[in-house]
């Protein structure tokens, strides 16, 4: 498919007033933001990605791409732990006893993330990184493979991706996006900000689950007792100070500096990884370099999927319900994420849309197809991209940088795993605070707007799902609007999607009723 076929030239030329409004309303302080004017591109690279036009610089795009990679790099380590293992004893096994090799999953995770992020940057020209979605990979490992084999599960992921691409090509996804009220779009952005901040708090150990008490608590027993969590706090303060002082490269400097601190602490104290016997250890990555720095990736999982095998194994109805769940999760999770990121980057229009909207939706759908085809799970836009945007990234050039680093990560897994999760978590909290500024776009004095917006915002972190937050917002907005005498003001597509979300939330009882 040619670029001309895919590209949606939904005016990549926002008016000066709109661009200035975007600068005022976005939660980010744009380092060195250049006012629109008669500035000419400084190079072919600048012209192709419209770097100067969007008020950025080549250096800032490279820096933003680097920051996005560092905040997303954990997926190269985490995805193999969720989907695979080093033996059948420590890996999720499917209905036939099959399992995925962690080394192979790690290789295809880097490969697919790299290719799709570069493709997204070149075609959609937005600074968004793509990688295996944590919601869907967990769903596959926990629920789906107990009914089908791994190749059959990945075939369902491919079908899910094909459907999403079709929604994008036909314009259905764009139409649904435009039907969402602007206040609800703002609430989605705020909810995502709160969500990623909560992810940072949990990943760092700053907030923990409790047994028999409140759902979560501060640290261990209400106290900060873990050295890695103290490193997180130090990183949070350092990054916060650098961003507050508008230091260019503040987030990147903070990530590098805090990683160096973590490496020194580990070298002196030998804390080790977190485990049942060592709850105060580093989460996911221990900040040390192993002796081997380079490894050859094993891409044996590429093409190992069975497109329609699950329909024969569990029946058409059961397989269709699994696809429905995948599509709804993928579709609205990505839509909400891209809404928030576009606003944060200052490239969204007054109605919440953004340049090359249709292109972005199509490429994101292709990410789902590619993820299933390589057995690395559906690839989708990552909210962690907000870290690179906070660093100043505004164009697809940053995505190309991020994608190239993901391709390199296939060979440099030891280097990828140097940055501990506690450091990446600090960056997420800082970015979450930035995104909260969008709350000013919501009129809380009007309760028919306030309640759906509030429910959207709080449901995302509390249910640990962007899609759940969007669904609750859609349903409550439609019902409250209709009951308030504003039935006709709710777009017909909003009603259609609301009905879909009702089915989505009730899929458990529906499956039981149908005997699926």
Instruction: Give per-residue pLDDT as tens, 298-329.
Output: 999 999 999 999 999 988 878 887 888 788 77
Give the model confidence (pLDDT) of 235-253 as tens digits: 999 989 988 887 766 777 8
**pTM of the predicted model, to two decimals?**
0.71
Return d(Cα 200, Cα 202) in angstroms, integer.
5
Return d(Cα 414, Cα 5) in angstroms, integer.
40
Return d(Cα 250, Cα 259) in angstroms, integer.
14
The encoded tokens of residue 354 equal: 């953004």
Count other Cβ atoms within 10 Å, centred on residue 16. Answer: 10
Q: Picking from 140-149, 176-185, 213-222, 287-296, which range would have the lowest pLDDT averaged per residue?
A: 213-222
Burial category of 434 from C-beta neighbours within 10 Å (exposed 0-12, middle 13-18, buried 19 and up): buried
Percent of the chain with pLDDT over 90: 37
DSSP letter string, 132-175: E-HHHHHHHHHTGGGTS-HHHHHHHHHHHHHHHHHHHHHTHHHH
The encoded tokens of residue 209 equal: 């689950």
Return d(Cα 11, Cα 178) in angstroms, integer.
15
DSSP E strands: which ranges in 66-134? Answer: 84-85, 100-101, 130-132
DSSP letter string, 302-357: TT---SSHHHHHH-HHHHHHHHHHHHHHHHHHHHHHHHHHHHHHT---TTS--TTH
Chain center to CA of 80: 17
Confidence of residue 29 (pLDDT cuts 50, 70, 90): very low
The residues, any chain, with a CB within 8 Å of residue 142's CB and separated by 6 or more, are 92
pLDDT at residue 274 in the model:
79
Count other Cβ atoms within 10 Å, centred on residue 357. Answer: 24
The encoded tokens of residue 469 equal: 């937050």
- Spatial contact of 375 and 305, defined as CB atoms under 8 Å apart: yes
Return d(Cα 382, Cα 206) in angstroms, integer.
22
Give the model confidence (pLDDT) of 37-88 as tens digits: 446 777 889 999 999 999 999 999 999 999 999 888 878 877 887 898 777 8
| Cα-based angle 231, 233, 237 (whole degrees, multiple of 5) | 115
Return d(Cα 335, Cα 497) in angstroms, integer.
13
Give the model confidence (pLDDT) of 412-462 as tens digits: 766 666 778 888 788 888 878 887 877 888 889 999 999 999 999 999 888
pLDDT at residue 346 in the model:
87
What are the structural domain ranges in the chain? 13-514
pLDDT at residue 11 in the model:
41
- Spatial contact of 124 and 138, defined as CB atoms under 8 Å apart: no
| Number of residues in the chain | 516
- Give, as one character, the DSSP assignment of residue 35: P
Q: List, in sequence order, every residue forming a beta bridge with 132; answer none if it has no partner.
A: 379
Return d(Cα 483, Cα 490) in angstroms, integer.
11
H-helix or E-strand spanning residue 258:
helix 250-269
Q: Is the pLDDT of residue 13 over 70?
A: no
pLDDT at residue 87 in the model:
77
The residues, any chain, with a CB within 8 Å of residue 54's CB and separated by 6 or more, are 347, 394, 395
Return d(Cα 212, Cα 215) in angstroms, integer.
8
- Spatial contact of 363 and 7, defined as CB atoms under 8 Å apart: no
Return d(Cα 76, Cα 104) in angstroms, integer.
11
Q: Is the pLDDT of residue 167 over 50?
A: yes
Please, what is the end-to-end C-alpha distance for the chain in angstroms? Answer: 38
pLDDT at residue 34 in the model:
42
DSSP letter string, 477-512: HHHHHHHTT-GGGS-HHHHHHHHHHHHHHTHHHHHH
pLDDT at residue 403 in the model:
97
Question: 137-151, 303-317, 360-374, 494-508 — which one is most confidently predicted on average?
Answer: 360-374
Give alpha helix (H) positions in 2-101: 3-6, 16-25, 44-49, 58-72, 74-83
DSSP letter string, 211-247: SSS-SEEETBTTB---HHHHHHHHHHHHHHHHHHTT-
Read off the pLDDT of each residue in 374-399 and give the average, rounded to a whole number. Answer: 93
The encoded tokens of residue 479 equal: 């019902």
């Amino acid at each position: 498919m040619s670029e001309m076929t895919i590209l949606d030239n939904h005016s990549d030329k926002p008016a000066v007033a709109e661009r200035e409004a975007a600068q005022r309303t976005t939660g980010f302080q744009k380092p060195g933001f250049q006012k629109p004017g008669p500035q000419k591109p400084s190079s072919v690279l600048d012209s192709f990605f419209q770097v100067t036009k969007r008020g950025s610089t080549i250096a800032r795009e490279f820096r933003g791409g680097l920051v996005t990679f560092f905040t997303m790099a954990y997926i190269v380590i985490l995805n193999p732990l969720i989907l695979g293992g080093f033996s059948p004893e420590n890996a999720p096994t499917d209905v036939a006893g099959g399992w995925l090799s962690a080394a192979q999953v790690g290789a295809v995770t880097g490969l697919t993330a790299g290719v799709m992020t570069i493709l997204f940057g070149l075609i959609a020209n937005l600074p968004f990184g793509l990688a295996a979605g944590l919601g869907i990979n967990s769903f596959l490992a926990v629920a789906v493979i107990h009914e089908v084999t791994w190749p059959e599960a990945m075939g369902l992921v491919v079908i899910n991706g094909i459907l999403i691409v079709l929604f994008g090509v036909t314009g259905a996804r764009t139409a649904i996006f435009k039907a969402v009220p602007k206040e609800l779009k703002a609430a989605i952005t705020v909810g995502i900000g709160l969500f990623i901040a909560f992810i940072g708090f949990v990943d760092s150990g700053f907030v923990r689950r409790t047994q028999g008490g409140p759902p979560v608590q501060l640290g261990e027993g209400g106290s900060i007792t873990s050295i890695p969590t103290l490193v997180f706090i130090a990183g949070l303060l350092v990054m916060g100070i650098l961003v507050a002082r508008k230091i260019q490269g503040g987030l990147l400097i903070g990530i590098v500096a805090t990683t160096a601190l973590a490496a020194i602490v580990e070298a002196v104290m030998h804390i080790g990884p977190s485990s049942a016997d060592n709850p105060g250890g580093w989460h996911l990555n221990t900040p040390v370099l192993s002796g081997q720095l380079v490894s050859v990736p094993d891409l044996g999982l590429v093409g190992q999927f069975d497109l329609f095998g699950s329909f024969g194994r569990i029946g058409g109805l059961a397989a269709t319900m699994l696809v429905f769940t995948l599509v709804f999760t993928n579709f609205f999770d990505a839509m909400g994420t891209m809404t928030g990121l576009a606003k944060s980057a200052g490239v969204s229009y007054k109605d919440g849309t953004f340049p090359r909207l249709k292109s972005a939706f199509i490429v994101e759908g292709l990410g789902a197809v590619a993820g299933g085809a390589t057995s690395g799970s559906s690839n989708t836009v990552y909210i962690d991209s907000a870290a690179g945007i906070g660093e100043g990234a505004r164009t697809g050039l940053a995505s190309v940088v991020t994608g190239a680093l993901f391709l390199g990560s296939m060979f440099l897994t030891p280097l990828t795993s140097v940055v501990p999760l506690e450091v990446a978590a600090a960056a997420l909290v800082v970015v979450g605070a930035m995104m909260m500024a969008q709350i000013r776009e919501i009129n809380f004095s009007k309760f028919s707007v306030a309640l759906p917006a509030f429910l959207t915002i709080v449901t995302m972190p509390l249910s640990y799902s962007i899609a759940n937050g969007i669904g609750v917002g859609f349903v409550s907005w439609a019902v409250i609007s209709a009951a308030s005498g504003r039935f006709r003001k709710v777009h017909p597509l909003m009603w259609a999607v609301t009905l879909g979300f009702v089915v989505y939330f009730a899929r458990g009882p529906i499956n039981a009723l149908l005997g699926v």
